[in-house]
Chain A
Amino acid sequence: MSDEHTMWDEGSTPLAAEYVLGVLSAQERRDFERRLTREPALASEVEYWEQKLGVLTSEVKPVEPPPQSWARIEAALTAHGSTARPGGVWQNLSFWRWAAIGSTAVAAASLAALAYLERAPAPRQTLIAKLDVSGGQAGFVAAIDPGRSGLIIVPASVANVNQRVLELWLIASGDHPRSLGVIEPGRPARINLPAELIQLIAADATLAVSLEPPGGSPTGLPTGPVIASGKLTKL
């Protein structure tokens, strides 16, 4: 206990109040949170201030979140399944930003996907998915050919992935996420689907894109945030 608050404390633990008030820097917040896990008295102090100051939020006007917001949460739950870990990467999404090009890019991406499909024979139905990112913009448009051998994915936005890579996942109903490989940001990709995955591919399966360390997820399951997702539907 050598921080500048010690002398000022006098039993009232203002650091807990400062933490709840929100005036501490990122580093001070991390340091304080480490103490919180070891010092129950500090945790009670935080609860006290959360209760007392928390009522101020009653003055903040409620705002309905966008309608697709719940779908994104549900997709993230599905993508992470039981692998979600406390303190994981969800807390740090700040390293990625999207810049939407706009609806013309979405239209172009859709046309590119369709142009690809027209070349394929059609024993089964084509499946398509629009993978939405934050704000309901299309992040990617994906299509799986009727023979289920190939998938094309076309980005509709520019992603600044900042030293990370994009990994595409297939999540069949009731199944854990299966990697379909790493894709380059900003460029259309064609992915050959492994034979063992073909039987999992059906309408209602979800495609999701997560951010992963270079080389892709080290665990075989998504480890980074899901930045876009969407369900496959029959064309």
Chain B
Amino acid sequence: MDQNAARKLLVEALARVSQGDRDALRLVYRRTSAKLFGVCLRILGDRSEAEDVLQETYLTIWRRAAEFDRSRASPVTWLVAIARNRSIDRLRAGATVPRMRPIDDATDVGDSTPDPLEQVETAQWHRQLADCLGELERRHAAAIRAAFLDGATYEMLAERMEVPLGTMKSWIRRSLVKLRACLER
């Protein structure tokens, strides 16, 4: 199945989910659960927590499929955003003590192969973001990546990178402005 066909399949399945079609939700689950579970697991660091959040994620998709707007977002982006938001909310609720990952985990920019689902739509965006992250100071880019992939708060990032909280906030906010400018080019 080529990329456009895969994307079209997901878009159509989400439309059917919004009408209460459970088989369509099962199809969405089959095609996306490994990716979303990976995202939840990365943030929560605990399989059982991640499985709970995965359940919440698909129930949210079930309820909110009508809100998906194919003209504004790709299906995978939309699904990933739900999984990340649920995971971060769970993390903030304190059910899981976040694992302290060495910050080096996050310092390499764009060095992994995009998974097949990602290729559906994001290969070129990935390159663009990697390039723009590459223009940031190395530790700032690492902080951005750690924040996004691990769901770390400013406080956690400051502790992990051993800088004052104010410094971390300033790094991230300035980096976001620079990123935006770069992405707009």
**A interface residues (Cβ-Cβ under 8 A, vs B):** 8, 12, 14, 17-18, 20-26, 29, 47, 50-66, 69-70, 72-74, 76-77, 80, 84-86, 90-94, 97-98, 134-135
Beyond A29-B92, A72-B55, list 10 extra A-B contacts (CB 8 Å). Answer: A14-B173, A24-B153, A50-B73, A57-B35, A57-B38, A58-B114, A61-B115, A62-B37, A76-B59, A93-B95
Q: Which of A23, A57, A64, A77 contacts B80 (CB 8 A)?
A: A57
How many residues on the B side are at the interface (Cβ–Cβ under 8 A)? 70
Q: A56-B145, A60-B149 are in contact. Are A65 and B62 (CB under 8 A)?
A: no
Kindly list chain A residues whose C-beta atoms are within 8 Å of the C-beta of B110.
59
Kindly list chain B residues whose C-beta atoms are within 8 Å of the C-beta of A21.
144, 147-148, 172, 176
Bound state CA distance, A21 and B153, in angstroms? 9
Kindly list chain B residues whose C-beta atoms are within 8 Å of the C-beta of A62.
34-35, 37-38, 115, 117
Bound state CA distance, A59 and B110, in angstroms? 8
Kindly list chain B residues whose C-beta atoms are within 8 Å of the C-beta of A70.
26, 29, 33
Nearest neighbor of A85 in chain B, beta-carbon distance: B63
Nearest neighbor of B114 in chain A, beta-carbon distance: A58
A22 touches B52 (CB 8 A): no
Per CB-CB distance, the 3 closest pairs between chain A and chain B, nearest first, are A58-B118, A94-B93, A26-B92
Q: What are 8 residue pairs bridging A and B, where the CB atoms are less than 8 Å apart in the complex?
A: A14-B176, A21-B176, A22-B152, A51-B74, A58-B115, A58-B118, A63-B37, A93-B90
Kindly list chain B residues whose C-beta atoms are within 8 Å of the C-beta of A17.
176, 179-180
Kindly list chain B residues whose C-beta atoms are within 8 Å of the C-beta of A14.
173, 176-177
B124-158 interface bits toward A, Cβ cutoff 8 Å, 1 = contact, 0 = none: 01100100000000000000110111011110010
Bound state CA distance, A116 and B91, in angstroms? 42
A84 touches B38 (CB 8 A): no
Nearest CB on A from B93, distance (A): 4
Nearest neighbor of B90 in chain A, beta-carbon distance: A94
Nearest CB on B from A185, distance (A): 18
A22 touches B172 (CB 8 A): no
B59 touches A90 (CB 8 A): yes
Nearest neighbor of B132 in chain A, beta-carbon distance: A52
Nearest neighbor of A88 in chain B, beta-carbon distance: B63
B147 touches A23 (CB 8 A): yes
Whether B47 is near chain A, meaning CB under 8 Å from some CB there, is: yes
Nearest CB on A from B126, distance (A): 4
Bound state CA distance, A69 and B38, in angstroms? 14
A63 touches B34 (CB 8 A): yes
A57 touches B39 (CB 8 A): yes
Kindly list chain B residues whose C-beta atoms are within 8 Å of the C-beta of A22.
84, 88, 147-148, 151-153
Q: Which of B51, B60, B86, B89 contacts A26 (CB 8 A)?
A: B89
Interface residues of B in 48-77 (CB under 8 A from A): 48, 51-56, 58-60, 62-64, 72-74, 76-77
Bound state CA distance, A65 and B26, in angstroms? 14
A60 touches B42 (CB 8 A): yes
Kindly list chain A residues whose C-beta atoms are within 8 Å of the C-beta of B6.
none
A23 touches B152 (CB 8 A): yes
Q: Which of A8, A20, A91, A134 contacts B48 (CB 8 A)?
A: A134
Q: A22-B88, A47-B73, A90-B59 are in contact. Are A60 and B38 (CB under 8 A)?
A: yes
Nearest CB on B from A145, distance (A): 32
Among A60, A72, A76, A90: residue with most chain B CB under 10 A: A60
Q: Which of B84, B126, B151, B157 contacts A55 (CB 8 A)?
A: B126
Among A8, A12, A70, A73: residue with most chain B CB under 10 A: A73
Whether B99 is near chain A, meaning CB under 8 Å from some CB there, is: no
B34 touches A65 (CB 8 A): yes
B54 touches A69 (CB 8 A): yes
Kindly list chain A residues whose C-beta atoms are within 8 Å of the C-beta of B42.
60
Nearest neighbor of B88 in chain A, beta-carbon distance: A22
